[in-house]
Amino acid sequence: MTEGEEAGVRFEVTHVLDAIERHVTTDATMAQATVDLGEIAWFDDLDGGRAVNLLRLGLLVDALSRHLGEDSVMIYPVAGRDLLSDQDLTSKERMVLGRWAGDGLIEVLPAVGDRVVEIDDLTGLPVVSRDGYPGWESRYPWLRTQTDRLLRLVPAEGGARIVGGVPGPPKPDGPGATLLARIWRCPRRDCPTLGEHRLESQAVPGIRSGVPVCPRHDEPLVNVGPRAPAIVFAVLVDGVVRTRFALRAGRSVVVGRSPDDPDGVRIGPWLAGEAASMVSRNHVRLELRDDMLLVSDMSTNGTVVRSRNSPFTAADEVHLGGGPPYPLKPWDSIELHQGVVVARADRNLARSVGGPGSVMGDAPTIALRPPPVAR
Ligand SMILES: [Zn+2]
């Protein structure tokens, strides 16, 4: 490799790590699956390359994107301290991991143990793993029965693929519902996982002898009060989920091509052709007020609500053109233009298969060695 080529590889790896970073979160509301980050980074059978490689998380992101038909999958990674100090990581990888840990994008604990399964036990999120969790069935009996919550990552042509079912949305009445209905704070106020700045987008508390504890510091948490409910929405363009956002009580969110509000959901980058000119910069405003979910049309060309009482009934079309806020039912979807849909992510989304992009860029061909087709 020439010096120029090496510099190109370094640039590409940085670019890929940035792309992966957009898919990691420890926000319990936004996460869609959990993973033991070390298990994936040390999974050298995926590409037959170095013993440890952080880019393997990108293979997981791509595999889960294809599995779910989404461009916006969010992973909740848990890492033991041994991964962060692994001398076989490049200095760039160690720096990025340290930053993710400090920013609370990944959860770091002294040892991972059963933490990934505990998160799944409390939230109902699926876990992506290499081998499943043999030996933990007596503590978590659902590991035996609810196999749709256990996804396996296996080597495949070009990287990796997920084996397992497509998990349904987490049940709001799961065992952790009471726990997650409150705001918890770590006694160490600067804790990246559950500190003072994490009161809204909060990680999942741990449980020791029935007491909520900080998974990072193992200290009992402070009960700050009830948590405002939140609903997660997905934006689908031509059947592919392009982005997700949380709507929290007492706060409104504008969705459009390029909303004036910096906290709005900007969908312009995914629009093409007629949709790019028909969707307004500020198209709809959503709000959650007194348990009512309201949508207001702010657009030039109007908005259609496809209203249905269940996933099995035919939809009625309701045309919104300005006017007062319209109350949405749980199965309703909002069409900004044909093929551009906003719908609750905790309901079955009418997805098409295929279409999502890749976070890996050209990385598999340079920094990871994809396995040969047959081995
Ligand atoms: Zn803490």
pLDDT of residue 374: 42
pLDDT in tens, 176-224: 888 988 999 999 999 999 999 988 889 999 999 989 999 999 999 999 9
pLDDT in tens, 333-350: 999 999 999 999 877 666
User: The pTM is what?
Assistant: 0.87
| Cα 224 to middle of ligand 1, angstroms | 15
**Which residue stretches of the chain have pLDDT < 50?**
353-354, 371-375
d(CA 240, CA 353) in angstroms, rounded, equals 8
pLDDT of residue 346: 78
| Cα 185 to middle of ligand 1, angstroms | 8
DSSP letter for each residue of 134-176: TT-TTT-THHHH-GGGEEEEEEETTEEEEES--PPPPPTTSTT
Spatial contact of 302 and 317, defined as CB atoms under 8 Å apart? no
List CB-based neighbours of ion ligand 1 within 5 Å.
186, 188, 191, 214, 216-217
| Cα 349 to middle of ligand 1, angstroms | 36
pLDDT of residue 171: 62
| Cα 82 to middle of ligand 1, angstroms | 18
| Cα 32 to middle of ligand 1, angstroms | 23
pLDDT of residue 371: 47
